[in-house]
Amino acid sequence: MATKKQTKVPTKKPSAKQAKLNADAQKRLATVKAKATVTKLSKYKSKSLPKTKSTSTSIILSPRYQQTYDKLEIKDSEFSKFEKLIAGELKRIRRGVKNLEQQYRAKTYEGLGEAYKVYQAVIKSPYANDILSNVRWALIDEGHKIQKNTNNAAMIIKYCWADAELTNKKVYDYSTALQAAQLKNIETDYFVEWIKKISIAQVIADYKEKDEDSLAERMRRARLVILRWLETKERNSLAQIKMTAWDAERLISAGTNQVVMLGTALRRMDRESFYADIHITTILPPNIDIDVMVVDRMAKQIVDVVGRYEEQLKVMDEELWSKDLEAYLSAEESEATRQTVEKWKGKRVKKG
């Protein structure tokens, strides 16, 4: 069956006049659309919003979302400025607090040094009990709580820092520093340098490490060791002086049987002689404070090693034990003398 061949009907070309009219209409439509777009965009512009940096991305946002983005950028910029300001202020305050802390620590050490001088002067004076009693009652009158077991150093600290309202922990720390310095025979002029070098915390830690007993308890034990040593030495005394019992009683302190003598040691002028003569020039009047001072002086020298001599006394011959302890005391006194000489040498150099 034959099919009919379909033929394409050609479109009719517009006339020249019609083509011109169509072109003009297209131009007018494009102009209207352009004006409408500009008018629409101008509605979203805000004179109060500052210009923001253009983004490096090629993403193009609609005007409404672009406005949201601009606000976020502004908020982020304001936060950065505020954060920078606050960070600067915090660092400034931190520096100030650090400086204040350093000044406070320096003043604390200075105050402790002054308190140590007073503490040493008081406990070495014959008026120690009266003065410390007055300090105790002065604190009580001001409303401070003073326990029966409050030690002398703690009372000095409490009075000096009464207006600072120290915690019990601080009172303990500061008073322990004074006691530790006293037991180690730290010179008053060297105290501040000593405490700065090792710190209060380290002083307390060192003494806690050495012995679980309190310093006062170890000092009590050291006194017993020294008195036992003196008792041992009495059996082999260096010299004896015979006098009436009545005269002897006038020279001893009540309840101690101790006498304190002063004398000199002079080498004999004979060149071939290796001997020296010891002359007892006087016997001091009885004074319990001097007796205590002499015993305490030697007890302080062994307070850190008192356990060693307690144990040695159990197993060693008394005479050998006595000689060993005497040698230790002699060495400690020599070191204390050396430190005193060095201190005075330094003072003379500074003056020169």
Q: List pLDDT tens digits, range 113-155.
A: 999 999 989 888 878 878 888 998 898 888 888 876 688 899 9
Nearest-CA neighbor of 144 among 130, 158, 160, 164?
158
| Res. 346: pLDDT tops 80 | no
Looking at the fold, whether 308 and 330 belong to one and the same domain comes out as yes
Give the pLDDT mean for 248-276: 78
Looking at the fold, whether 292 and 166 belong to one and the same domain comes out as no
Looking at the fold, whether 167 and 257 belong to one and the same domain comes out as no
| Res. 282: pLDDT tops 60 | yes
Which H or E run contains 111? helix 63-124
Note whether residue 229 is domain-resident: yes
Looking at the fold, whether 203 and 250 belong to one and the same domain comes out as no
109-112: long-range contacts (C-beta < 8 A, 24 or more apart)? 109/192, 109/195, 109/196, 110/192, 111/160, 111/161, 112/174, 112/177, 112/178, 112/191, 112/192, 112/195
For residues 197 and 195, give the distance between their C-alpha atoms in angstroms, rounded to a whole number: 5
Looking at the fold, whether 316 and 297 belong to one and the same domain comes out as yes
| Res. 49: pLDDT tops 60 | no
**Would you state the pLDDT for residue 89?**
87
Note whether residue 257 is domain-resident: yes
Looking at the fold, whether 160 and 253 belong to one and the same domain comes out as no
Note whether residue 40 is domain-resident: no
Per residue in 287-326, pLDDT (tens digit) is: 778 888 888 888 988 887 788 889 888 888 888 998 989 9
Better-predicted residue by pLDDT, 53 or 276: 276
Note whether residue 74 is domain-resident: no
Looking at the fold, whether 220 and 347 belong to one and the same domain comes out as yes
Looking at the fold, whether 184 and 259 belong to one and the same domain comes out as no
**What's the whole-model pTM score?**
0.43
At 338, the amino acid letter reads R
Look at residues 210, 225, 243 and tell me which one is the last residue of a structural domain: 210
Give the pLDDT mean for 99-124: 88
Residue 282, strand partner residues: 262
The percentage of the chain sitting over the pLDDT mark of 90, rounded to a whole number, equals 8
Look at residues 168, 191, 210 and tell me which one is the last residue of a structural domain: 210
Note whether residue 44 is domain-resident: no
Per residue in 189-244, pLDDT (tens digit) is: 999 999 888 888 888 887 666 545 567 788 889 999 999 998 888 887 777 888 88
Note whether residue 183 is domain-resident: yes
Question: What's the number of domains the chain is made of?
Answer: 2
CB atoms within 10 A of CB 173: 17
| Res. 47: pLDDT tops 50 | no
Four-residue CA torsion sign, 106, 108, 110, 112: negative
Better-predicted residue by pLDDT, 305 or 42: 305
3-state class (DSSP) for residue 185: coil
For residues 177 and 187, give the distance between their C-alpha atoms in angstroms, rounded to a whole number: 13
Lowest mean pLDDT among 12-21, 66-75, 102-111, 263-272: 12-21
Looking at the fold, whether 125 and 251 belong to one and the same domain comes out as no
Looking at the fold, whether 102 and 179 belong to one and the same domain comes out as yes
Alpha helices per DSSP H over 142-263: 152-160, 168-183, 191-198, 200-210, 215-235, 245-249
For residues 132 and 145, give the distance between their C-alpha atoms in angstroms, rounded to a whole number: 15
Look at residues 210, 225, 253 and tell me which one is the last residue of a structural domain: 210
Note whether residue 344 is domain-resident: yes
Tell me which residue range forms the domain holding 295: 215-264+281-351
Give the pLDDT mean for 6-13: 54
**Would you state the pLDDT for residue 345?**
63
Looking at the fold, whether 200 and 304 belong to one and the same domain comes out as no
Note whether residue 177 is domain-resident: yes
**Would you state the pLDDT for residue 212?**
54
Looking at the fold, whether 181 and 94 belong to one and the same domain comes out as yes
| Res. 72: pLDDT tops 90 | no
